[in-house]
Homo-oligomer: A and B are copies of this chain.
Amino acid sequence: MKLFSYWRSLASFRVRIALNLKGVPCDIETIDLLEGDQFRDSYLAVNPQPVVPTLVDGGTALFQSLAIVEYLDETCPEPPLLPADPTGRARVRGIAQIASSDSHPLIVPRIRKYLTEDLELSDEQLAAWIRNWMGAGLAAMEAHLAAGSDTGTFCHGDRPGLADLCLVPQVVGSRMFGCRMDPYPTAMRVFETCMALDAFADAHPTKQPDFPSDA
């Protein structure tokens, strides 16, 4: 398999964790979003949407991080990333989608570019925007984790899964942009538990081969 990834992409981070949890070896090809690699014809031939990640498995190019993770879970079932019962699966997918749908899409590079270039936001306004929407996502995840009787060592029970591999990048990204993390004690407890595992730690942006030494 080959993953088109960028060290700082939180969506790529999710897929890297899933690959590590499954123990699936994978080549990484860097798509530098800040350099515009995602707009090159060679990449658009793989994924017509200029975003990462894309996972190529044999002749198939898979796109959108959660679709890729579910594919990995269906094709490499052990260890499972979703619980067995429909209610548990819905809870895990719901927590994951708070990050992947309601929070992270608001702060990706193309949005920051539009906000600063087209709408001429100041650095302070941009930082406030990012913290607001990353914080709203964390608050919603915290509310579900703190209230849910299914919350265990991890987001759901005592095995890491789809919700955890969305929570961890959400926390890493929020810290990168200076969010306060003390309002989210349950999320932070789960985050620390995850980061003690190699599958999560090795997928961290700063551990990637394309992480720049001067970043």
- Interface residue ranges, A against B (CB under 8 Å): 48-49, 51, 60, 62-64, 66-68, 70-71, 74-75, 86-87, 89-91, 93-94, 96-98, 100-102, 105-106, 111, 114, 118-119, 121, 125, 128-129, 132, 140, 143-144, 147
Candidates B51, B63, B74, B119; contact of A86 at CB < 8 Å: B74
Q: A49-B143, A114-B129 provided; 9 other pairs, C-beta below 8 A?
A: A48-B144, A64-B94, A64-B97, A66-B97, A66-B101, A71-B89, A74-B86, A97-B100, A105-B106
Please report the C-alpha to C-alpha distance between residue A62 and residue B60 in the assembled complex, in whole angstroms. 32
In the complex, which residues of chain B have a beta carbon less than 8 angstroms from the beta carbon of A101? 64, 66, 97, 100-101, 105
Copies per complex of this chain: 2
* A188 CB to nearest chain B CB (Å): 17
Most buried by B among A86, A94, A111, A118: A94
Candidates B48, B70, B129; contact of A90 at CB < 8 Å: B70
* A70 CB to nearest chain B CB (Å): 6
* A90 CB to nearest chain B CB (Å): 4
Contact B114 A119 (CB under 8 A): no
* A105 CB to nearest chain B CB (Å): 5
Q: Closest residue of chain B to A101, judged by CB?
A: B101
* A114 CB to nearest chain B CB (Å): 7
Q: Closest residue of chain B to A49, judged by CB?
A: B140
* A80 CB to nearest chain B CB (Å): 14
Please report the C-alpha to C-alpha distance between residue A125 and residue B119 in the assembled complex, in whole angstroms. 8
Contact A98 B49 (CB under 8 A): yes
Please report the C-alpha to C-alpha distance between residue A98 and residue B87 in the assembled complex, in whole angstroms. 25
